[in-house]
């Protein structure tokens, strides 16, 4: 295992952002910048041994700073949506930014994806990676409490890219952290419609036209959201009224236990991804909003369906849905979440 850092660029206020590269003994290489905790690249040998970069992004910091799609970033304090940006805690109402009208999305105007994280490199016999830290101050983006956040990214020789999240607070607050990497297992050489996907979930959370859950849990059986068996992502995608997938799945698992929750495979590259998490839900997003106006790495134009996200999370709008798993964090508790993305190649 190898790990090293290099200069990546300067932020708008003149501070330095670095790029940290983790490489395992099989040539799998992940790169992360401490700006936004962004996963900028993940290079994996395909079935023929050709290296493919399987995440969308750019080669420079300036484009990540300007990005509005959350490519590769840590999302917080609250991943996904909160209805009208309002919640109540201890009989007090809190108003958050309405940055995707009429709702609050992914932490607000300046979420964790737009801040510079402190970091330290981990290089021990048992773990190779980096530890990111950020203090989100009381009432930052409208959230109560000084929130100390720690995220550890690590890679091993089995091709497992692990993300470990921890957070503590001095006031009761809501926390729902996730990562927003857009994956493409054909090396971003086309759309992801031929990718085959299985999600270990029999239910999802139906939502209104603004993507706020109604509060009910519904079966995926007999719907275009059914990925209980390996199914091409594009097989039913044109039936979706939203133009694609942007849905939260209720995982068939015990809360807080690390279990496999999804599989994705791509026929041309031979790459397969297995996803494990401790979280109760996962948001499937099929890059509906890309329209070819964004040029990413290699000047590839990111068009509709050029990536997929599997954002492990608690459910959207949980602060306003008492029946959903709680996202409340109290001062005497520690928030923790672990997610693993494991990529391997099927040899010819």
Over range 289-318, report the average pLDDT: 96
- The pLDDT value given to residue 55: 98
Instruction: Compute the distance between CA of residue 75 and CA of residue 46 in angstroms, rounded to an integer.
Output: 29
- CB 132: neighbour CB atoms within 10 A? 23
Mean pLDDT of the chain: 97
CA distances from 162 to 14, 156, 174, 278, 324 (A): 31, 9, 24, 12, 26
Tell whether the model's pLDDT for residue 38 goes beyond 90. Answer: yes
Please tell me what DSSP assigns to residue 318: G
- The pLDDT value given to residue 12: 85
Tell whether the model's pLDDT for residue 348 goes beyond 80. Answer: no
Helix, strand counts (H, E) of the chain: 1, 29
Over range 217-243, report the average pLDDT: 96
Q: DSSP states of 55-115 as a string? A: B---SSHHHHHH-SS-TT-EE-SB-SEEGGGEEEETTEEEE---SBTTBEETTSTT-GGGS
- The pLDDT value given to residue 93: 98
**Buried b vs exposed e over 196-233: b needs ≥16 C-beta within 10 Å?**
bbbbbbbbbbebeeebbbeeeeeebeeebbbbeeebeb
Q: DSSP states of 278-295 as a string? A: SSSEEEEE--TT--S-EE
Q: What is the pTM of this model?
A: 0.97
Q: Which residues are catalytic, by number?
A: 180, 311
Tens digits of residue pLDDT in 122-142: 999 889 999 999 999 999 999
Tell whether the model's pLDDT for residue 222 goes beyond 80. Answer: yes
Please tell me what DSSP assigns to residue 299: G
Architecture (CATH level 2) of domain 2-345: Distorted Sandwich (2.70)
3-state DSSP assignment of residue 189: coil
Over range 309-325, report the average pLDDT: 98
Tell whether the model's pLDDT for residue 248 goes beyond 60. Answer: yes
- What backbone phi and psi angles, to 5 degrees, belong to 45? -70, 130
């Amino acid at each position: 295992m190898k790990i090293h850092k290099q200069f990546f660029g300067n932020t708008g206020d003149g501070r330095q952002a670095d790029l940290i590269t983790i490489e395992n003994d099989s040539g799998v290489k992940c790169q992360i910048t401490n700006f936004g905790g962004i996963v900028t690249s993940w290079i994996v040998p395909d079935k023929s041994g050709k290296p493919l970069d399987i995440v969308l992004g750019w080669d420079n910091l300036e484009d990540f700073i300007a990005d509005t799609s959350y490519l590769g970033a840590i999302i917080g304090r609250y991943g996904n949506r909160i209805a009208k940006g309002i919640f109540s805690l201890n009989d007090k109402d809190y108003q958050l930014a309405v940055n995707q009208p009429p709702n609050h999305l992914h932490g607000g105007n300046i979420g964790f994806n737009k801040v510079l994280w402190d970091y330290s490199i981990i290089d021990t016999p048992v773990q190779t990676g980096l530890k990111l830290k950020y203090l989100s101050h009381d009432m930052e983006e409208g959230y109560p409490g000084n929130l100390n956040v720690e995220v550890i990214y690590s890679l091993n020789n089995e091709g497992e890219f692990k993300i470990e999240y921890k957070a503590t607070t001095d006031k009761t607050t809501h926390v729902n952290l996730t990562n927003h990497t857009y994956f493409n297992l054909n090396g971003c050489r086309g759309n992801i419609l031929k990718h085959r996907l299985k999600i270990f979930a029999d239910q999802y959370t139906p939502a209104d036209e603004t993507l706020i859950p109604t509060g009910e849990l519904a079966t995926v059986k007999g719907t275009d959201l059914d990925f209980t068996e390996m199914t091409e992502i594009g097989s039913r995608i044109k039936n979706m009224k939203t133009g694609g997938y942007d849905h939260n799945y209720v995982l068939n698992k015990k809360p807080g236990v690390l279990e496999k929750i999804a599989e994705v495979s791509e026929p041309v590259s031979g790459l397969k991804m297995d996803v494990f998490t401790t979280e109760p839900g996962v948001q499937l997003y099929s890059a509906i909003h890309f329209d070819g106006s964004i040029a990413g790495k290699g000047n590839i134009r990111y068009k509709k369906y050029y990536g997929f996200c599997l954002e492990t999370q608690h459910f959207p709008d949980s602060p306003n849905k008492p029946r959903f798993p709680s996202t409340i964090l109290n001062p005497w508790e520690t928030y923790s979440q672990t997610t693993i993305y494991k990529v391997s190649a099927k040899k010819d």
